[in-house]
Amino acid sequence: MSPRNIRLVVEFDGARFHGWQKQPGLRTVQGVIEDAIAEIFQQRCEVIGAGRTDAGVHALRYVCNFPADTEMDSARIPLALMAVLPEDVVVHGAEDVAPGFHARFDALSRRYRYLVSTVPVALRRGSVFFCKYYLDVARMIEAASFLAGCHDFTSFTPALNEANPECDLREILIEDEGGMICVTVEGNRFLHNMVRIIVGTLVEVGRGKIEPADMVAILSARDRRTAGPTMAPHGLAFVSARYSDIPDLR
């Protein structure tokens, strides 16, 4: 009998992780989840994630899947795994999915949010970036409108010779609630550091250092040096991934 294919929805605090992907000798989310599965189900397997996350980046509803040789009711799997997982990883759900489901290949889009506050933060300092400058949010919204849609995002990644720099940025939303600015992006795919550089560029626009309409030239330059800085990882969170059977990303 072939093993079941279990999909997990996971939240993690990225502060003490070197990102999602397993790396020898480093604490990663994939690593601790695979260890938890090994302990609970007495099996080693690879957990497939919806995408890489950088060191320090959080996730609210990260999606991953793994082949499970167990008869445990899927409703019991979250608590079973959390019994052995560290406190910075939480399993919000587990369910059986089709044998061919693949968390990375089947993701239709991914959603991230970045929190920037122009008011200093104490309690939420682990997930909010404090920007000490005044930010003109209307200018940031205008600049963001130039980034929406299909573009070559080479200027927004440090990766050289990116095989496919085309990304479809399906949504880019900027909300400001009393100085807490939330930038939400959804795209079919993202290049390395792309969200953090998009936000870094929008912050420069908000500060008045770059004009909103400059976004057009920055995109067409295909040159990392034309965009703004890479924002710190702790303000970023992977919100969720969309699949044909998980249409809602909120």
If residue 203 lies in a helix (H) or strand (E), which one and from where to where? helix 194-207
120 binds its own copies (CB under 8 A): yes
Q: Which stretch binds its own copies (CB under 8 A): 40-48, 122-130, 142-150, 210-218?
A: 122-130
Cβ-based nearer residue to its own copies, 237 or 241: 237
Of 89, 144, 215, 218, the one binding its own copies by CB under 8 A = 89
Q: Which stretch binds its own copies (CB under 8 A): 10-18, 102-110, 201-209, 219-227?
A: 10-18
Backbone angles phi, psi at 157, to 5 degrees: -150, 145
Interior angle at CA 133, CA 127 and CA 137, nearest 5: 80
C-alpha distances in Å from residue 12, one per residue of 3, 59, 218: 26, 5, 33
Identified catalytic residue from 54, 73, 245, 248: 54
Q: Which stretch binds its own copies (CB under 8 A): 99-107, 118-126, 150-158, 187-195?
A: 118-126
- Bridge partner residues of 152 (DSSP): 166
208-247 positions binding its own copies, by CB under 8 A: 237
54 is an active site residue: yes
Alpha-carbon gap, residue 183 to 176, rounded angstroms: 9
Alpha-carbon gap, residue 124 to 138, rounded angstroms: 25
249 binds its own copies (CB under 8 A): no
Of 3, 4, 11, 189, the one binding its own copies by CB under 8 A = 11
Name the residue type at position 11: E
Of 1, 123, 160, 163, the one binding its own copies by CB under 8 A = 123
C-alpha distances in Å from residue 30, one per residue of 6, 10, 49, 107, 167: 15, 11, 8, 18, 25
Which residues are annotated as catalytic? 54
Q: For binding to its own copies (CB under 8 A), which residues are involved?
A: 11-13, 58, 60, 78, 82, 87-92, 119-123, 125-127, 237
